[in-house]
């Protein structure tokens, strides 16, 4: 079984986080903006293939900062539900802030590390 704590620590300290952070948060840097735009476009294309309809529930496993939320919201609408799951509390904090800024009240966010601990308590 993978060691979640070690994986999360490695992510927080490593190159993967730096790249993901550049893609997830638009900045004034034109290169970072291009990376962000490509990430959004790719997600929109993938989510479009799900053919979501208003009122459905969708799970965003590894939701990170919520980059997919806008496209998912467009599919399920305000009557639908989005369940975002991630192991990074830092990423989930950004996802919560994004949902709040946009007034999306149909998004539930779960931290896999915290959920796993509560199951074993």
Q: Which domains does the chain have, with CATH numbers?
A: 4-119 (3.40.50.150)
pLDDT in tens, 13-26: 766 666 666 666 66
- Of 36, 37, 41, give the one whose Cα is nearest residue 19: 36
Does the pLDDT at position 120 exceed 50?
Answer: no
pLDDT of residue 75: 97
Gap between the Cα atoms of 66 and 86, Å rounded: 10
| Its pTM surpasses 0.85 | no
pLDDT tier at 119 (50, 70, 90 boundaries)?
Answer: very low
């Amino acid at each position: 079984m993978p060691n979640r704590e070690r994986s999360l620590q490695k992510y927080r300290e490593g190159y993967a986080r730096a790249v993901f952070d550049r893609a997830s948060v638009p900045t004034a840097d034109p290169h970072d903006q291009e990376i962000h735009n490509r990430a959004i476009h790719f997600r929109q294309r993938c989510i479009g293939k799900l053919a979501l309809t208003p009122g459905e529930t969708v799970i965003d496993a590894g939701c990170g900062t919520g980059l997919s939320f806008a496209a998912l919201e467009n599919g399920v609408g305000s009557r639908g539900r989005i369940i975002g799951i991630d192991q990074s509390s830092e990423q989930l904090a950004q996802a919560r802030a994004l949902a709040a800024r946009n007034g999306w009240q149909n998004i539930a966010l779960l931290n896999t590390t915290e959920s796993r601990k509560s199951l074993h308590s």
